[in-house]
Amino acid sequence: MKSFVNVTEQIDDFPLAVEELLAGTSPGELQRNAVGILLCYSDMDTAGLAAALSQKAKFPIIGCTAIALMENNRGLHDMAASLAVLTCDDCSFSVAVSDPITTSNVSEQIDKTCQAIRNASVEEPKLLYALPPYILNIMLDEYASGFNRCFPGVPLLGGLPSYNATGDENLTIFGGETFSDRLVMLSISGNIRPVFTVQNVVTVDADRKRKVTESKGNVIYRLGDQTFTEYLQEVGLPVESLTQGNATITFVSNPLLLESAQDGFSFVRTLHEINPDEGTGTAIGQIPQGATLSICSLQRRDIEQAAAAGFKILKDKMDAEQVDGYQYTTVLSVSCIGRYLLMSPDNDAEVKSLLTEFTPGLTLSGFYSYGELGPQGPARTQIFAHNESLILCAF
């Protein structure tokens, strides 16, 4: 596998942007098969750039919008577009896009899109990359469940596109078109050995742990014999003030750590809102009844240390797979928008920390997401919906 990332800051000059993004992609410079992953700053004419790029590119392109991008040369970009190009002779790529997704047809559309990917693939995929649309009433867990159903045991990386919600757009990209309601997917088959790391919240004060005694979907009703808001008051969070104004920073800096007694692993959820009148909390993602919940404190130092540690773990996994001559060239990443926000005003701190450990010669392409998809569980064979995580995939 050969890969590289081109970045352009010419977000208003499409001819120049396309020229910069497609540098090095003339027919003689690419191997037999190629695909592109386009990541665009959310407050730009993404549709215009995607259309112009698709007219010139000689390979399929998928992608999404994001409030910030990351790559291995200059680190973080928050007003730019990037194109990661993957090309090889001994791997094949397939892409697919869903029809418009609604709350009533999401399962059907996941199945249909996965079948399209399977039909287009020369052989069974070794790695999937998925960008679902950001639709608030559809939990990311539904996509994880669908991918596990359609491709059991096949590893997947992905995430929801992000935006600032200030007049900019939240979109997925397929070829020369953009969508607010469609899933786009990429599969890679052939000579590829993907390895992953998932970094999120892992420590907590044991005194804050409570069993979820009543929940439904992503709504938490009761912890032990308390309502959810009574629990928040007990651990010192200002419940009343969290219902006024923008509580995003408070929510992302105080994530919910859940430990699953049934599956034996832990995961993180971010609060979306609380309702003092009903005593409930609504999270971004499913809250299973019977799990142990504890509210944590996520600090800048934790994020920076996790980024460096995550790549060290990834490097060890790559080293173990390279003993017979296989060479890793590419790292794709998806990080939570909450981690980005907590870094402010030095929003590039996570990427800087990651790059301190980065191996020269590797390509990095990633973005900040409203929810991350990656492996979970002791065997790391299940696709899972994460919050507030940094997921790295090398191949």
Model confidence over 33-85: pLDDT tens digits?
999 999 999 999 999 999 999 999 999 999 999 999 999 999 999 999 999 99
CA atoms within 13 A on the CB side of 340: 22
Provide the pLDDT confidence category of residue 253 given band limits of 50, 70 and 90.
Answer: confident
Q: How far is CA 38 from the centre of its chain?
A: 14
Q: Supply the pLDDT for residue 117.
A: 97
Q: What is the 3-state secondary structure (H, E, C) of the chain?
A: CEEEEEEECCCCCHHHHHHHHCCCCCHHHCCCEEEEEEEEECCCCHHHHHHHHHHHCCCCEEEEEECCEEECCCEEECCCEEEEEEEECCEEEEEEECCCCCCCCHHHHHHHHHHHHHHHCCCCCCEEEEECCCCCCCCHHHHHHHHHHHCCCCCEEEECCCCCCCCCCCCEEECCEEECCCCEEEEEEECCCCEEEEECCCCCCHHHCEEEEEEECCEEEEECCEEHHHHHHHCCCCCCHHHCCCCHHHHHHCCEEEECCCCCCEEEEEEEEEECCCCEEEEECCCCCCCEEEECCCCHHHHHHHHHHHHHHHHHHHHHHCCCCCCCCEEEEEEEHHHHHHCCCCCCHHHHHHHHCCCCCCEEEEEEECCEEEEECCCCCEEEEECCCEEEEEC
Give the separation between CA 370 and CA 388, rounded to whole angstroms.
Answer: 9
Return the biggest CA–CA distance within the chain.
68
pLDDT, tens digit, 9 for 90 and up, residues 21-36: 999 999 889 999 999 9
Per CATH, domain 206-297 is 2.40.10? yes
Share the mean pLDDT of the chain.
93
For 297, left (φ over 0), alpha (ψ -120 to 50), or beta? beta
Q: How far is CA 233 from the centre of its chain?
A: 32
Per-domain boundaries in the chain:
2-199+301-394, 206-297
Whether residue 131 is predicted with pLDDT greater than 90 in this model: the reply is yes
pLDDT, tens digit, 9 for 90 and up, residues 152-199: 999 999 999 999 989 999 999 999 999 999 999 999 999 999 999 999
Task: Provide the percentage of residues in the chain whose pLDDT is more than 90.
Answer: 81
Task: Identify which of 394, 390, 392, 372 has the alpha carbon closest to the alpha carbon of residue 141.
Answer: 372
| Phi then psi dihedrals of residue 319, to 5 deg | -60, -40
Provide the pLDDT confidence category of residue 364 given band limits of 50, 70 and 90.
Answer: very high
Q: By the 8 A CB rule, do 110 and 183 touch?
A: yes
